[in-house]
Structure 1
Amino acid sequence: MEKEYLESISKAAAYLKDKGMEKPVVGLILGSGLGELAEEATNPVAIPYENIPGFPVSTVEGHAGQLVYGELGGKMVLAMQGRFHFYEGYALEDVTFPVRVMKALGIETLVVTNAAGGVNTSFNPGDLMIITDHVNFTGVNPLIGKNDPEVGPRFTDMTEAYDKGYQQLIRECAQSNGLEIKEGVYFGLTGPTYETPAEIRMIRTMGGDAVGMSTVPEVIVAKHAGLKVAGISCITNYAAGMQSNLNHNEVVEVTTRVKESFKSLVKDFVAKV
């Protein structure tokens, strides 16, 4: 890890502290159409990404592109309204930069959310899925390169990428909110194309339940940084070959439809974590 990169993390963290973002304990990465949760925070401080030193800028529709700090479920949280993707042309160290900054600010728990295509034939658009594990099928890894042992280990254990205790807590929160929740393995690819029907058949054969273009790099870096991770996917469509065509408008439309269930689930989880 280059010295300049470590300095840029410190610089961003110092800037955010100066803006009043003190001692957050939970970080939230809110995917396509799911960013509205950040607006539930009380006494929020919102800073556009372009104002934060070293931060990339989100270019995807359905991503507000700001960092929101405030109280949610009785805890101080840092919520990303929109994330960065490898397919936008960013290096993985830029995609995962916000996770490093959140860690520098003191978070202990990272909640990752995303919009995903349903590969499991028992899933339907609008379902919420606990991510129990993932497959990194991007062909890249954000930890490639020099390693600083003060930041994290050279070889990061991914045995429990998504904390098992957190998975159980999400199940309990879903039950208390009267929500049916699915569980499964998130299969990460680079995008920006949607998968072919043949690729989806391969993913299903290889044990994938949902497919998407984000999340995996952030979770790898979170584990490297010693954070505990919880993951929730919103199944927004049937994957390729399971419906007539795929488009991003449908993704935003379905997340809008289920946002109240999603918000109540995550708020309850944050309160109890």
Structure 2
Amino acid sequence: MVNVKQQIQEASLFIENKIGFCPEVGLILGSGLGILADLVENAIEIPYHKIPNFPVSTVEGHAGKLVAGQVKGKNVIMMKGRFHLYEGYDAQVTTFPVRVMKALGVEKLVVTNAAGGVNVDFDPGELMLIVDHINNLGTNPLIGPNDSELGERFPDMSEPYSKRLMKLAYKVAEKEGFNLREGVYMASLGPTYETPAEVRLARTLGADAVGMSTVPEVIVARHAGIEVLGISCITNKAAGILDQPLSHDEVVEVAERVKPTFLNLVLGMIEKM
């Protein structure tokens, strides 16, 4: 039987020995949003494949490395590229880095993703604060035996995304002079994009944006007692809204265009955390 706590300890000790400090803030950077890692001062980069027990990112647009250092005077650690269920990993594996972040000392986590806009009022290039989510993945990273040292058996999910951090985000957006959307994010398994019928279903269920990540990481973060802020970059209108095909290239292209706004928001948030 796999000893998860031992795996977490091995990975966290390896990283701690490499970086030499305890990070306060963790970040998970989605498709095309890894530019933030270039602004880290005194940056230490650790490829995932060198970290004990870490999976390896296989997705184009995901660099596949941890970056640690200082941003706005705060010690941070960020994932430049994440793991997805559609890569063949199970939910416990995709969320393992969140467990490691907690072991390193992270108490606040910013999760970002590229998402399709289900809400017809959302336009590509807008940023959406995630106020809640819908788990349409068909699994949960907490399935199986629960270790009470990692979190309680039945964690409360009435506030998966911190209202306190969202208020700070709105203050940053107001100061920087841009509008923030807010909405519900729905995670589906992928790797196919949703069909028009599935998008209509998502809208009926109350989703404003759809993607293939984030929800398992947030569940584990809340299980571990980490405060979470979620940000979606709306990179396209979801299938069926416009009469055009969807592509990963479009996702990366729009993420590149929204880069200045994204950076201003996240940098401002780190400063206020």
User: TM-score normalised by the shorter chain: which range applies?
Assistant: over 0.9
Question: The residue matched to 1:23 in structure 2 has which SS?
Answer: coil
Matched, 1:197 2:196: yes
The letter for the 2-side match of 1:262 is F
Distance 2:69 2:259 in 1: 19
1:34-62 Cα deviation digits (max 9, x unpaired): 01101101000001101111111111111
Match of 1:213? 212
The letter for the 2-side match of 1:168 is K
Distance 2:265 2:87 in 1: 30
Match of 2:28? 29
Normalised by the size of structure 2, how large is the TM-score? 0.98
1:80-110 Cα deviation digits (max 9, x unpaired): 0000000000011110000000000000001
Shift of residue 20, structure 1, vs aligned partner: 2.0
Match of 1:148? 147
1:217-245 Cα deviation digits (max 9, x unpaired): 00000000000000000000000001211
Distance 2:133 2:18 in 1: 35
Match of 1:263? 263
Distance 1:7 1:57 in 2: 19
Deviates more, 1:124-133 or 1:19-28: 19-28
Distance 1:200 1:21 in 2: 46
Distance 1:162 1:260 in 2: 24
Matched, 1:17 2:25: no
- Indicate the RMSD between aligned Cα atoms, in angstroms: 0.8
Deviation >2 Å, runs of 4+: none
Question: The residue matched to 2:3 in structure 1 has which SS?
Answer: helix
Normalised by the size of structure 1, how large is the TM-score? 0.98
Does the C-alpha gap of structure 1 residues 150 and 3 become closer, same or farther in structure 2, counting only changes over 3 Å?
Answer: farther
Distance 2:2 2:186 in 1: 32
The letter for the 2-side match of 1:126 is G
Shift of residue 190, structure 1, vs aligned partner: 0.7
1:126-141 equivalences in 2 (<5 Å): 126-141=125-140
1:149-164 equivalences in 2 (<5 Å): 149-164=148-163
Matched, 1:86 2:90: no
Shift of residue 162, structure 1, vs aligned partner: 0.1
Question: The residue matched to 1:155 in structure 2 has which SS?
Answer: coil
Match of 2:232? 233
- Seq. identity, %: 58
Match of 1:252? 252
CA contact (8 A) 1:21 1:69 kept: no
Q: Which runs of 5+ in 2 are unaligned?
A: none
1:116-151 Cα deviation digits (max 9, x unpaired): 000001100000000000000111000000001111
Distance 1:50 1:4 in 2: 20
Match of 1:165? 164
Distance 2:234 2:127 in 1: 6
- Equivalenced residue count is 272
Distance 1:65 1:20 in 2: 17
Match of 1:40? 39
Shift of residue 22, structure 1, vs aligned partner: 1.5
Shift of residue 3, structure 1, vs aligned partner: 5.4
The letter for the 1-side match of 2:267 is K
Does the C-alpha gap of structure 1 residues 143 and 64 become closer, same or farther in structure 2, counting only changes over 3 Å?
Answer: same
CA contact (8 A) 1:96 1:217 kept: yes
Distance 2:232 2:145 in 1: 32
Question: The residue matched to 1:19 in structure 2 has which SS?
Answer: helix
Shift of residue 75, structure 1, vs aligned partner: 0.5
1:162-181 Cα deviation digits (max 9, x unpaired): 00011111111111111111
